[in-house]
Chains A and B, each alone.
Chain A
Amino acid sequence: MKATNKTRARPTLRSVLGRGHLSVALLAVGLVGISLTLLGVLALRVYANHNLHLIARSINYTVEAAVVFDDSVAANEALELIASTEEVADAKVFNNDGEQLAHWQRNVDGLLGHLETRVATALLGEPINLPIRHKQQRVGHIELIGQGRSLLLFMLGGLGGILFCTLLSAFVALHLSRRLLGDIVRPLRALASVAHAARRERSFDRRVPEAPIAELNELGNDFNALLDELEVWHSHLQNENATLAHQASHDSLTGLPNRAFFEGRLSRCLRNAARQQDHMALLFLDSDHFKQINDSLGHAVGDEVLINVADRVRAQLREHDLVARLGGDEFAILLTPLQSREDAQRIAEKIIASMQLPMQLDSGGSINTSLSVGIAYYPDDGDDSASLLNAADAAMYQAKRTRRGQWQAAQTERSAAEIKNRS
């Protein structure tokens, strides 16, 4: 829970890249836009003031005569003539006595007009006060307040430009970050998926594809090399494991499964047979006079005989039958599936017959050996592995007692009862 919370709190590469690009773009556009607009406003302010001075001077020339003759009507007309076509918000003409001769004011209407007034008072500063001179003599003065229209329009345009550029650059930044993200994330995803497969499914055969970015490509290559080593190591380990497993379940001399393997298979087959109502036969084999061979001819010959016996027995069996060396000179065979008792008996006879040929020894010379076989049937002679093994063992000893080199079916009470029932 804690781990997932932690990972959720961490930003993704996409968000980091996106944020980075976006902030750089916004910073650049903002700085440039604001500084340009500020510079523009300052420059425009200088020009607007200059322009206002020019307007004031031309008003001066126009109203000069009217002021000299103290003619308010003429002054008003002259003032309106100029002020109405220029960027003037308010213009007043005073004579030398300080009386207002003429006044012109632009109609302020709507939001834009009020904004203009605000901008004009904020940026253009004090109203312009210019004396009217006639023959080097001051005859009056004018007061002029500029109109902030061009400034306002410039500022609005600047704001609009900044806004538009911000949107555009944000879009481009996101697009670029997405592209970059693709270039970075695709190789990383491939790497992650390969690593995941190697960890979860132990599939070391997949490799990371090449990446467009050098560092990521190098990482991928290193990872591939690591995977190569892992694969070699893993297969080595698997082989070792297989060998160990084989050694644990098989007899090293004859190569036949050992007792533990045989018992495991037997109990499994018993479960299957119980479920599917199959029949099985368990054969117990014991070499006759093996102890004497061992004692008189040595262990090497004994081993040779055991290997030979194992080979010959194996040669007589069907595909699904299992032969195991239980220990010493004892072998056991599991016949499954079994159609009839006669099949088991025929196999037992074939095994016994296969022993009749003398065995050629490596040291030269040959030796004759024989096997005694005890047969126990499932389910007639027992329905668990212990009882079946006991029954087969008993039958084998019985065969040894009566006549060596022969087979003997188990004769348990149960099987006797079965036979009685049948007859």
Chain B
Amino acid sequence: MTVAGGRVTGSLLSLLLAALMLSAGPARADAAATAVQAQQRAKDVTQVVLGILSYARWPTEPVPLRLCLVGPTEYADDLIKGNLQNSGQPLQVRRLLADDRALAQACDAIYIGKLDHAERDRLFQAVSGHPVLSISEADDPCTVGSLFCLRVSDQQVAFEVNLDSVARSGVRIHPSVLQLSRRRAVQP
């Protein structure tokens, strides 16, 4: 309840902020709208990422769950702020560089921001053979590499699953998540 209340006040505050910005001048209206939208997207992305993590099973249960943000991310601010998974499992979030050698050992899950092809290939080479759950934020055809690829829009945050990668990674994903993702993929 307190969490919900906090959220409500948070959204109220942001609305107030938006209203202030709107009153400040029509020139700034666009920027304000995108700020509110960005906030909403970040919130949705956080929920989806936490949901995926909650439905994943590692060969040995990591305590705490170490989530690494790699590369420039757009919606991961909320992830950094919060340190609790919604299942109550402790979550440790930190930023790492894409070519960090210890990445495969230091992370159970990686949230991948904008990376170029070379960086991406190196990253996946580094984690291959380790049970690491990878989620791509930016546009990713989801054919090689990442287990989950987010499709962020204003309406909702959808995701796709690369079943080959899931099978190879050694991380088990609950079937209902797979079902959810496939259905979403089919959706236009």
Contact = CB atoms under 8 A, between A and B. Distances in A.
Interface of A: 64-66, 68-71, 73-74, 77, 96-98, 134-137, 139
A248 B154 CA distance: 140
Contacts of A64: 176
Interface stretch (B21-29, B46-54, B104-112): B46-54
Contacts of A73: 187
B54 A68 contact: yes
Nearest to A71: B180
Contacts of B55: 65, 68
B168 interface: no
A97 B174 CA distance: 24
Interface stretch (B66-74, B85-93, B122-130): B85-93
Contacts of A98: 4
Contact of B180 (A66, A96, A137): A66
A96 B55 CA distance: 18
A69 B47 contact: yes
A64 B9 CA distance: 27
Contact of B88 (A69, A74, A135): A135
A139 B3 CA distance: 12
A71 B156 contact: yes
A68 B174 CA distance: 13
A80 to B, nearest CB: 13
B4 A97 contact: yes
Contact of A65 (B4, B88, B179, B187): B179
Given A70-B47, A97-B4, 15 more contacts: A65-B51, A68-B47, A68-B51, A68-B54, A68-B86, A69-B48, A69-B177, A74-B184, A98-B4, A134-B54, A134-B87, A135-B54, A135-B89, A137-B86, A137-B88
22 contacts: A65-B55, A65-B174, A65-B177, A68-B55, A68-B86, A69-B47, A69-B51, A69-B180, A71-B180, A73-B187, A74-B183, A74-B184, A96-B4, A97-B4, A97-B7, A98-B4, A134-B87, A135-B87, A135-B88, A136-B87, A136-B88, A137-B87
A352 B47 CA distance: 162
Q: Which 4 A-B pairs have the closest CB atoms?
A: A135-B87, A65-B176, A68-B51, A69-B51
Contacts of A137: 86-88
Given A97-B4, A135-B87, A139-B86, A70 B176 contact: no
Nearest to A66: B180
A239 to B, nearest CB: 118
Interface string B168-184: 00000010110110011
B44 interface: yes
Contacts of A65: 51, 55, 174, 176-177, 179-180
A335 to B, nearest CB: 141
A136 B187 CA distance: 31
A79 to B, nearest CB: 14
Contacts of B54: 68, 134-135
A137 B85 CA distance: 10
Nearest to A69: B51
Nearest to A67: B51
Nearest to A98: B4
A72 to B, nearest CB: 8
A66 B80 CA distance: 24
Contacts of B89: 135
Contacts of A71: 156, 180, 184
Contacts of B156: 71
A408 B145 CA distance: 176
Interface in B1-58: 4, 7, 44, 47-48, 51, 54-55
Contacts of A136: 87-88
Nearest to A70: B47
B138 to A, nearest CB: 20
A183 to B, nearest CB: 77
B184 to A, nearest CB: 8
Nearest to A135: B87
A74 B55 CA distance: 16
A139 B176 CA distance: 16
Contacts of B174: 65
Given A68-B51, A135-B87, A137-B87, A74 B180 contact: yes
A139 B183 CA distance: 21
Nearest to A61: B176
Contacts of B177: 65, 69
Contacts of A139: 86
Nearest to B89: A135
Contacts of A97: 4, 7
A70 B44 contact: yes
A108 B177 CA distance: 34
Query: Which of the listed residues B51, B177, B179 has the most CB atoms from chain A within 10 Å of its own CB?
Result: B51
Query: Which of the listed residues B4, B86, B176, B187 has the most CB atoms from chain A within 10 Å of its own CB?
Result: B176
A106 B174 CA distance: 31
Contacts of A77: 183
Contacts of B4: 96-98
A97 B9 CA distance: 13
A415 to B, nearest CB: 151
Contacts of A69: 47-48, 51, 177, 180
Nearest to A72: B156
A50 to B, nearest CB: 25
Contacts of A134: 54, 86-87
